[in-house]
Amino acid sequence: MDSQAGLSAQLILDKCVKWSEKLYDMTKEQMKEFAAAGGSNNIVYIEFQYYQIGLDDVWLESISNKIGDNLVVRREILLQRLHGSSLSPYAQEDMEYIVENMHKPIDILFIKDYYQFKIYEEIDPTIPYIVGVDCSTGTLKDNNAITGINPFTVKPAFEFACSYVGETLYEQIIIELVTKHTPKAIVCIERNSVGDGIIDHLLQSRIASRLYYDRDKDLTLENMKQNENIESMLKKQASLKSFYGVYTEGHSREAMFAILARRISENKDDFVAENVITDITRLVRSSSGKIVAGPGFHDDSVMSYLIALYVLYHGNNLKVFGYEPGMREEKPLNQGLMYATEKELREVLPDDVAKSIVEDREIAKMLDYESILREAIEKSQAETSKLMNADIGFTSDQSSGSAYTSYEDEFGDYDMSFFDEMNGLGRNGNNGFPW
């Protein structure tokens, strides 16, 4: 796969539509529509394993012994496309293991008649699948990709990838997937220039309640006092909308690939899905250290997979959507998603709105600090009151349960000689002082 010939061949295969037995029931015109919907070069690619053409394991053993080269057997007989790039961020043996344990789909689900979802387990409408959605422009450059993870097994249950699905059709595909097949799905959409528009539209659709949102404590704007004018309402609306979707750059991207590295090391059997595994084997580490798709390839399927994993590991609002975190031994972190920097916000929102969101975050942090300070003062007042009411030679009318009202309140009512007495200075013995 890392030779020039291998790369060139794979680029052709990537543009082909994959064979389906559904073709047997199609008219010639329907076949043409099918080929146009599933690939960009109007070629139908079909691949059969030896056991699908009437051969058995006895034949496999016999031919393998005749060839005498395990690498050739894997490539020529088992049809494995092997990788071995020195630029891969992952160990060669890990990549080979994952490829060898890749599963073939148990079924193909057709959405909008022609768009194929590879199914790896029987779809259960009661399961809150975490569905990662990677968005592109649909102009043959990158794939629109969807990966649904079963949160109870942390394995891909289904996946989809296509490079020429426009925004409107993509939204329809997502809606049909949820309404007809996965009604409990938790839909997590990549927030980029295209994804931002898709989120807007889906928030007005039948599946709005299934779009994942995550509210970090320092981003909660409801506690902020704002003038109820049109400008503030629009800013607040834009700010609240920013809770939807997942950013895939900066620190959130780093967290995603940290999760991937850990799972490659510890959970190799869980990847199973063809598109996801293919993308992983094509990842390289760039000169800057960033993990990206190799030249001429895509990383959209693995990103949709990582978006779903990222929400599973870090989302702190999953319970609202019907999934209780920690249902397996390996508990996700669930501390809240990481949000976009000002630069990332400006890429998907108007400059003035992005600026206002950043400013609101800082204000919210200040408000949060004030609440922490308030709690500390209340605790201090309670402890002080407790001491004053203790049997130490004097009494006070101060109630231990009084509530904090302001930073200055209460303190002025205390007789400050109390602190002298606590320090052994006393009112009658001057200890060198004039009182």
Nearest to 349 by CA among 360, 337, 358: 358
Domain that holds residue 288: 84-349
And the tokens for 408? 């200055």
CA distance 2 to 81: 10
And the tokens for 413? 């009512």
Q: What is the pLDDT of residue 125?
A: 96
Q: What is the pLDDT of residue 223?
A: 39
Whether 235 and 384 share a structural domain: no
Higher pLDDT, 352 or 62: 62
Whether 368 and 237 share a structural domain: no
CA distance 182 to 132: 13
Within a domain: residue 29? Answer: no
Within a domain: residue 20? Answer: no
Within a domain: residue 415? Answer: yes
Within a domain: residue 225? Answer: yes
Whether 345 and 381 share a structural domain: no
| Residues 6 or more apart in contact with residue 134 via CB below 8 angstroms | 143, 144, 145, 146, 190, 248, 300, 301, 303, 304, 307
Q: Using the predicted structure, report yes or no on whether residue 64 has a pLDDT greater than 60.
A: yes
And the tokens for 59? 């034949």
Give the domain CATH number at 299: 3.30.420.240
Whether 274 and 141 share a structural domain: yes
**Which of 300, 322, 349 is a domain's end point?**
349
Whether 316 and 214 share a structural domain: yes
CA distance 378 to 245: 38
Chain segment 279-307, per-residue pLDDT in tens: 998 898 888 889 999 888 889 999 999 99
Whether 320 and 391 share a structural domain: no
CA distance 81 to 86: 16
Percentage of the chain beyond pLDDT 70 is: 70
And the tokens for 153? 């097994």
Percentage of the chain beyond pLDDT 90 is: 37
Chain segment 116-156, per-residue pLDDT in tens: 999 999 999 999 999 999 998 665 567 899 999 999 999 99
Within a domain: residue 10? Answer: no
Within a domain: residue 222? Answer: yes
Whether 183 and 263 share a structural domain: yes
CA distance 149 to 132: 8
Whether 307 and 369 share a structural domain: no
DSSP state for residue 181 in the 8-state scheme: I
Q: What is the pLDDT of residue 21?
A: 86
And the tokens for 171? 């939204």
Whether 118 and 249 share a structural domain: yes
24-52 average pLDDT score: 87
Q: Which residues pair with 284 in a beta bridge?
A: 292
**Which of 349, 384, 413 is a domain's end point?**
349
Q: What is the pLDDT of residue 79?
A: 84
CA distance 29 to 43: 15
Asked if residue 306 lies in contact with residue 259, where contact means CB atoms within 8 angstroms, the answer is yes
Length in residues, the chain: 435
Query: How many domains does one find in the chain?
Result: 2
Within a domain: residue 51? Answer: no
Within a domain: residue 323? Answer: yes
Would you call 117 helix, strand, or coil by DSSP?
A: strand
Whether 166 and 192 share a structural domain: yes
Reported as a pLDDT band with limits 50, 70 and 90, residue 424 is: low
Q: What is the pLDDT of residue 387?
A: 65
**Which of 316, 349, 382 is a domain's end point?**
349
Higher pLDDT, 137 or 52: 52
Whether 217 and 137 share a structural domain: yes
Q: Using the predicted structure, report yes or no on whether residue 408 has a pLDDT greater than 60.
A: no
Chain segment 237-288, per-residue pLDDT in tens: 566 667 888 988 888 999 999 999 999 999 999 999 999 999 998 898 888 8
Whether 312 and 184 share a structural domain: yes
